[in-house]
Amino acid sequence: MAFLIISPTGKKYLFDAGARKDYWNYSPMIRERFRKGVNVGGMRVTKGVAELLREGGVGVEEGEVEGVFWSHWHFDHIGDMSTFPSSTKIIVGPGFSDAMLPGYPANPDSPLLESDYVNHEMQELTFTTPLEIGGFRAIDYFADGSLYILDVPGHAIGHICALVRTTPDTFVLLGADACHFAGSLRPSVWVPLPESVTREELGEVQGGGCPCEDFLVSHPRGKEGRIKPWYSASRTPGSAYADWRVADRSVEKLRGFDACVDVLVCLAHDPGVGEVLPVFNGEGIKGGGIGKWKERGWKEKLRWRFLGELPRMVGGEGGKGRGWVRGREPIVEGWWRGGKRVGVEEALRRDGEE
């Protein structure tokens, strides 16, 4: 998920830029991870963010998009900056330049490409003011209280989130990859699991309710799962988390934001965000954006939708046996290139490579 932010004075910024359309042109290090299936089992990118913006009536020419915040360096957040003019700057979190630069080919093992950034001014944020929000160090980016950038470490070096004011007293927190699944945020002591949810809340066809007991069978804490999230950061070496202890502390603080009725937390990898909130793709800003999320009730609609991705127990009526069913199917399966599903080797062949 990438977000277009428009400041009170009309300045346009992106928070993240998705994946590049020609994903086979990422650096050799990233392509090698793809080949080995590390954190990624397939890709289908039909349009880049710049293309989507243009289609939706937002220009990306010189002077249009002031800057792109890279929440962190992972390939599915940095987009393709060559599709933006050099006047669009890149804003990164603390420690980024020391740890990540230079890119490939100057550093053959880098996940970044030099071409990702050399034509753009890069601004690295430093959190030096005493401002803190919800336990995170913060920067009042426009100095008017409309956009706070938060230092949210753990997932990757320089990982940042954005707290965007949507009305005088409501905010959207762009959580990036602080965690990847809403079941890492919820349930919590502040947002306990209800007795049951409706099919609609699960994003399924309308129908009767579904007892939450049926989901709790997959919860590592059993009954205690009513007030504990399903997941914590992975402790497996080589996982997507740079430091799981720090990541868990960051997510614990995010649960406080999630519990607040005036804050909508949007994780970059929560499919419900793209299903419940209006997306820019094809709609442009005409859709009105997500600023009115509170009066539209989108936080409530999004809250338990992730349960639909979990396995659940079914059956048992009339003496029939109970058994598991899988959660929702993945949105993308396999490698897609030129509108066709292809094998991984064909998917990763660079332009012009035999």
Which residues contact Zn ion (rule: CB under 5 A)?
Answer: 74, 177
Q: Which of 307, 300, 311 is nearest to 276 (CA)?
A: 300
As measured in angstroms, the least distance from the Cβ of 159 to Zn ion is 8
> Which of 193/251 has CB closer to Zn ion?
251
> Which of 74/219 has CB closer to Zn ion?
74
CA atoms lying within 13 Å on the CB side of residue 330? 10
As measured in angstroms, the least distance from the Cβ of 185 to Zn ion is 16
> Which of 80/214 has CB closer to Zn ion?
80
Classify the C-alpha dihedral 220-225-228-230 as positive or negative.
Answer: positive
CB 97 within 8 A of CB 46: no
As measured in angstroms, the least distance from the Cβ of 76 to Zn ion is 7
Structure tokens at 121: 């001014």
Residue 154 amino acid letter: G
CA distance 72 to 28: 19
Q: Which of 175, 173, 176 is nearest to 165 (CA)?
A: 173
> Which of 21/74 has CB closer to Zn ion?
74
As measured in angstroms, the least distance from the Cβ of 269 to Zn ion is 8
Residue 132 amino acid letter: E
Burial status of residue 217 (CB atoms within 10 A of its CB: 0-12, 13-18, 19 or more): middle
> Which of 177/309 has CB closer to Zn ion?
177
- Residues, the chain: 354
As measured in angstroms, the least distance from the Cβ of 160 to Zn ion is 12
Residues 6+ apart with CB under 8 A from 241: 154, 155, 233, 234, 247
> Which of 12/74 has CB closer to Zn ion?
74
As measured in angstroms, the least distance from the Cβ of 178 to Zn ion is 9
> Which of 58/273 has CB closer to Zn ion?
273
65-69/89-92 β-pairing: parallel
As measured in angstroms, the least distance from the Cβ of 239 to Zn ion is 11
Question: Which residue is it, tokens 């933006």?
Answer: 84
